Structure 1
Amino acid sequence: MTATYPINRAGIGCLALLFSPLAWSHPHSFIAMQTTPVVSNDALTGLKMVWTMDEITSADLLYDAGNAMPDTPVWKKLAAEVMANVLAQHYFTEFWHQGNAVKFENLPPSYSLARSGAQAVLTFVLPLAQPQPLKGQTYTFSSFDPTYFVDMTYKNAQALSLPDTLTSRCKLTLQTPKPDAALKNFAQALDKADAPPESMDLGRQFAQTVTLSCQ
């Protein structure tokens, strides 16, 4: 299953620079992810995502926010800037059902940016264009930066959670790839100004896959 979503490399570069202009190798920015399916009328309508950025990545955003209180115009402006970069990359996410790509809405119904200690946390709902049935269905999704400038990772299976209405009949499974040493060394050798060949699809080779299966 290979997606054909267009890759806006300028958008990825802007996101990476916005996040962390000081690092020197790939990946040079790190996002710890948490995800919960969003359900309405017994159908899957989206994914609630919480992306926690590493401290170096967060530094510029938190500096710009200063001592502003949550939900003030400063935070809303920063959230809109970050979210615009995420949207430019199709949420950095692919979602599949029976071998077919599931489309997303162009705009999230909600999003926010907040401070957690020395880290910036982006929370948003990734909306599916059409509600998807749950009974007897299996879905897979992955979130990754195609260039691997940004490493996007679930720390463990506990970073995935089900809403109470699904716990008795659905399960989430996390699969983490194991790239060989040569691929890891190649990524680590890339300078921050380098971009891997597009045909290499570097980020996908490091991307985790989540499976949602329901009875």
Structure 2
Amino acid sequence: MKKASSRCRYGWLGLGIALCLGEPSAALAHPHGWVDMSVEGIFDDEGNLTALRQRWRMDPFYSQVVMEEMATADDATSMAERLDALGVEIRDNLATQHNLTTITLDDDPLAQGDVSDTNTDYRDERLIYDFVLPLATPQPLAGRTLRYRIFDPTYYIEMVHEANEDGSRPLPGALTLANAPEGCATVVVKATPDPQKVMEAAMLDKSETGEPNLGRFFAETGEITCPG
């Protein structure tokens, strides 16, 4: 089988391009890989939430595939330069899909700004992508609740907050706050998909997609609440 390009291999990061990954044919049922993520809510000096800083750690198999392919590049660039270029393409792909992130304030959708401060690295056999996702307008949270969900609409990739070994609870660093007003609190709410949706995902092989936005049924919800 012809080897897929690096663009195809990480197409799911922004476009849900499952067929390009070239994974073993024995891999059946969604999801086919995962991302461990952590999020930091960033506040300004006026107490407004301005951005969500996100860190995505790709699963070891996916990370290995991408790193091996980048290592074969026939040019004079360093690995650091190749990682930077990868980060630019990831950023551009994600921008076409709202960065796989939905944000609401008291259940009203919030607009996003342009991603900044991107960084791509490889540590502990995991490919890591860091970025800052600004809100289009800083938001006061006094007496309000901001919620976000981060998910691959195709559910080809499962995206979950950093958790303990059995996945039963998020780690303390999975959702944190920077410069937040006193009393603000966070919680990560686990997804509780309908058994029918679980069965639907389990019946999909890597060449199939389910209903539009299947991934939303499996998405965790991060909540940031500040006292009024």
Do both proteins adopt the same fold according to a TM-score greater than 0.5, normalized to the shorter chain?
yes
Between Structure 1 and Structure 2, how many residues are aligned? Answer: 200
Counterparts of residues 20-31 of structure 1 (less than 5 Å): 20-22=21-23, 23-31=27-35
Task: Tell me which residue corresponds to 2:43.
Answer: 39
User: 2-side partners of 1:10 and 1:37: how far apart?
Assistant: 22
1:203 to 206, 212, 215: 215
Identity over the aligned pairs, expressed in percent? Answer: 28
Q: Deviation of residue 66 (structure 1)?
A: 3.1
1:86 to 94, 112, 125: 94
Task: Tell me which residue corresponds to 1:126.
Answer: 133
**Cα distance per residue 1:161-188 (max 9 Å; x no partner):** 122x327310111111222444223212
User: 1-side partners of 2:58 and 2:119: how far apart?
Assistant: 14
Kindly provide the amino acid, as one letter, of the partner of residue 26 in structure 1: H
Contact preservation (8 Å) 2:154, 2:215? yes
Q: Identify, as 1 or 2, the structure richer in helix.
A: 1
Q: TM-score, normalised by structure 1?
A: 0.84
**Structure 2 residue matching 1:168: 3-state secondary structure:** coil
User: 1-side partners of 2:147 and 2:117: how far apart?
Assistant: 23
User: 2-side partners of 1:120 and 1:10: how far apart?
Assistant: 12
Counterparts of residues 10-159 of structure 1 (less than 5 Å): 12-14=15-17, 16=18, 20-22=21-23, 23-41=27-45, 42-66=47-71, 72-105=80-113, 107-154=114-161, 155=163, 156-158=170-172, 159=174
Q: Deviation of residue 10 (structure 1)?
A: 11
User: 2-side partners of 1:213 and 1:11: how far apart?
Assistant: 29
Q: Which 5+ residue runs of structure 2 have no aligned equivalent?
A: 1-11, 164-169
User: 1-side partners of 2:15 and 2:28: how far apart?
Assistant: 16
| In the alignment, structure 1 residue 161 sits paired with structure 2 residue 176 | yes
Q: TM-score, normalised by structure 2?
A: 0.79
**Structure 2 residue matching 1:192: 3-state secondary structure:** coil
CA spacing shift, 1:17–1:123, aligned 2, 3 Å: farther
Kindly provide the amino acid, as one letter, of the partner of residue 16 in structure 2: G
User: 1-side partners of 2:186 and 2:226: how far apart?
Assistant: 9
CA RMSD, 1 decimal: 2.3
**Structure 1 residue matching 2:217: 3-state secondary structure:** helix
User: 1-side partners of 2:214 and 2:190: how far apart?
Assistant: 15
**Structure 2 residue matching 1:162: 3-state secondary structure:** strand
Task: Tell me which residue corresponds to 1:4.
Answer: none
Q: Deviation of residue 61 (structure 1)?
A: 2.1
Q: Which 5+ residue runs of structure 1 have no aligned equivalent?
A: 1-8
CA spacing shift, 1:11–1:141, aligned 2, 3 Å: closer
Contact preservation (8 Å) 2:19, 2:206? no
User: 2-side partners of 1:183 and 1:99: how far apart?
Assistant: 23
User: 2-side partners of 1:167 and 1:40: how far apart?
Assistant: 9
Task: Tell me which residue corresponds to 2:4.
Answer: none
